[in-house]
Protein backbone atom coordinates (compact mmCIF):
# COMPACT_ATOMS: atom_id res chain seq x y z
CA UNK A 1 0.00 0.00 0.00
CA UNK A 2 1.05 3.56 -0.55
CA UNK A 3 1.69 6.39 1.85
CA UNK A 4 -1.96 7.51 2.18
CA UNK A 5 -3.02 3.99 3.19
CA UNK A 6 -0.14 3.50 5.63
CA UNK A 7 -0.86 6.92 7.13
CA UNK A 8 -4.56 6.10 7.52
CA UNK A 9 -3.75 2.78 9.23
CA UNK A 10 -1.34 4.54 11.61
CA UNK A 11 -4.03 7.12 12.43
CA UNK A 12 -6.54 4.37 13.11
CA UNK A 13 -4.09 2.55 15.40
CA UNK A 14 -3.36 5.73 17.31
CA UNK A 15 -6.80 7.34 17.54
CA UNK A 16 -9.61 4.85 16.94
CA UNK A 17 -8.32 1.45 18.01
CA UNK A 18 -7.72 2.47 21.66
CA UNK A 19 -11.37 3.54 21.87
CA UNK A 20 -12.47 0.12 20.63
CA UNK A 21 -10.14 -1.65 23.07
CA UNK A 22 -11.57 0.38 25.95
CA UNK A 23 -15.15 -0.24 24.82
CA UNK A 24 -14.59 -4.01 24.66
CA UNK A 25 -12.81 -4.12 28.01
CA UNK A 26 -15.43 -1.93 29.71
CA UNK A 27 -18.32 -3.91 28.29
CA UNK A 28 -16.84 -7.34 29.07
CA UNK A 29 -15.46 -6.37 32.47
CA UNK A 30 -12.10 -7.94 31.61
CA UNK A 31 -9.29 -7.29 29.16
CA UNK A 32 -9.90 -8.77 25.72
CA UNK A 33 -6.59 -9.30 23.96
CA UNK A 34 -6.90 -7.96 20.42
CA UNK A 35 -4.20 -8.90 17.95
CA UNK A 36 -4.32 -7.05 14.62
CA UNK A 37 -2.19 -7.70 11.55
CA UNK A 38 -2.21 -3.99 10.70
CA UNK A 39 -0.23 -4.11 7.41
CA UNK A 40 -2.86 -6.40 5.88
CA UNK A 41 -5.85 -4.14 6.61
CA UNK A 42 -7.23 -1.71 4.09
CA UNK A 43 -7.08 -1.54 0.33
CA UNK A 44 -5.18 0.55 -2.18
CA UNK A 45 -6.90 3.83 -2.98
CA UNK A 46 -9.39 3.65 -0.09
CA UNK A 47 -7.51 5.44 2.69
CA UNK A 48 -10.28 8.02 3.12
CA UNK A 49 -12.72 5.34 4.31
CA UNK A 50 -10.35 3.29 6.49
CA UNK A 51 -11.61 4.71 9.79
CA UNK A 52 -15.24 3.90 9.09
CA UNK A 53 -14.47 0.72 7.17
CA UNK A 54 -12.14 -0.96 9.63
CA UNK A 55 -14.61 -0.32 12.41
CA UNK A 56 -17.55 -1.66 10.38
CA UNK A 57 -15.73 -4.77 9.18
CA UNK A 58 -13.73 -5.85 12.22
CA UNK A 59 -14.98 -4.21 15.42
CA UNK A 60 -18.62 -3.11 15.30
CA UNK A 61 -19.99 -6.57 14.44
CA UNK A 62 -18.06 -8.13 17.32
CA UNK A 63 -19.33 -5.61 19.87
CA UNK A 64 -22.91 -6.09 18.68
CA UNK A 65 -22.50 -9.88 18.88
CA UNK A 66 -21.10 -9.66 22.41
CA UNK A 67 -24.08 -7.56 23.44
CA UNK A 68 -26.39 -10.21 22.00
CA UNK A 69 -24.64 -12.94 24.00
CA UNK A 70 -24.25 -11.01 27.26
CA UNK A 71 -27.95 -10.43 27.79
CA UNK A 72 -27.79 -12.16 31.18
CA UNK A 73 -25.28 -13.28 33.80
CA UNK A 74 -25.00 -16.70 32.17
CA UNK A 75 -23.92 -15.18 28.84
CA UNK A 76 -21.54 -12.75 30.54
CA UNK A 77 -19.91 -15.58 32.48
CA UNK A 78 -19.62 -17.74 29.36
CA UNK A 79 -17.75 -14.93 27.61
CA UNK A 80 -15.51 -14.33 30.63
CA UNK A 81 -14.68 -18.03 30.88
CA UNK A 82 -14.33 -18.79 27.19
CA UNK A 83 -13.41 -15.74 25.10
CA UNK A 84 -10.08 -14.07 25.74
CA UNK A 85 -8.58 -13.11 22.39
CA UNK A 86 -9.63 -11.63 19.06
CA UNK A 87 -7.25 -11.98 16.10
CA UNK A 88 -7.81 -9.88 12.99
CA UNK A 89 -6.23 -10.17 9.56
CA UNK A 90 -6.99 -8.49 6.26
CA UNK A 91 -6.08 -11.69 4.44
CA UNK A 92 -8.83 -14.13 3.63
CA UNK A 93 -8.03 -17.77 4.43
CA UNK A 94 -7.67 -20.23 1.55
CA UNK A 95 -10.50 -22.37 2.94
CA UNK A 96 -12.81 -19.29 2.89
CA UNK A 97 -13.84 -19.92 6.50
CA UNK A 98 -13.50 -16.35 7.67
CA UNK A 99 -14.29 -16.86 11.36
CA UNK A 100 -12.56 -19.54 13.40
CA UNK A 101 -12.66 -20.22 17.11
CA UNK A 102 -10.15 -22.23 19.13
CA UNK A 103 -8.31 -21.94 22.44
CA UNK A 104 -10.63 -19.16 23.65
CA UNK A 105 -9.72 -17.06 20.59
CA UNK A 106 -11.86 -15.84 17.72
CA UNK A 107 -9.94 -15.26 14.49
CA UNK A 108 -11.33 -13.26 11.60
CA UNK A 109 -9.66 -12.99 8.21
CA UNK A 110 -11.42 -10.73 5.73
CA UNK A 111 -10.20 -8.34 3.10
CA UNK A 112 -11.28 -4.72 3.12
CA UNK A 113 -14.64 -4.80 1.31
CA UNK A 114 -18.34 -4.27 1.93
CA UNK A 115 -17.61 -1.54 4.42
CA UNK A 116 -21.10 -1.05 5.80
CA UNK A 117 -23.44 -3.46 4.08
CA UNK A 118 -22.80 -6.57 6.13
CA UNK A 119 -22.46 -5.47 9.76
CA UNK A 120 -25.62 -7.35 10.77
CA UNK A 121 -24.64 -10.51 8.88
CA UNK A 122 -21.19 -10.44 10.47
CA UNK A 123 -22.78 -9.95 13.91
CA UNK A 124 -25.04 -12.94 13.37
CA UNK A 125 -22.14 -15.13 12.25
CA UNK A 126 -20.08 -14.15 15.30
CA UNK A 127 -23.01 -14.91 17.62
CA UNK A 128 -23.37 -18.34 16.00
CA UNK A 129 -19.71 -19.27 16.31
CA UNK A 130 -19.34 -17.97 19.87
CA UNK A 131 -22.53 -19.60 21.12
CA UNK A 132 -21.42 -22.89 19.59
CA UNK A 133 -18.00 -22.73 21.24
CA UNK A 134 -18.55 -21.09 24.62
Please report the pLDDT score of residue 1 as a whole number: 84
Task: Quote the pLDDT of residue 91.
Answer: 94
Residues 6+ apart with CB under 8 A from 22: none
Mean pLDDT, the chain, integer: 95
CA of 104: how far to CAs of 36, 49, 87, in Å? 16, 31, 11
109: confidence class by pLDDT, cuts 50, 70, 90: very high
Q: Tell me the per-residue pLDDT of 53-73, one tens digit each, with 9 for 90 and over.
A: 999 999 999 999 999 999 999
CA–CA dist 69, 48 (Å, integer): 33
pLDDT at 117: 75
The pLDDT of residue 37 is 97
For 22-38, the pLDDT digits (tens) are 999 999 999 999 999 99
Distance CA 52, CA 20 (A): 12
| pTM (2 d.p.) | 0.94
- Tell me what the mean pLDDT of segment 70-77 comes to: 96
The H or E element that residue 41 is part of is none
pLDDT classification of 113: cutoffs 50, 70, 90: confident
Amino acid sequence: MGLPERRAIAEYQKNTFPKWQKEFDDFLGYHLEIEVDWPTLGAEGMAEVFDKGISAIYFEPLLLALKDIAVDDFGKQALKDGFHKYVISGLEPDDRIFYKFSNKALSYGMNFCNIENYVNERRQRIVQILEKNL
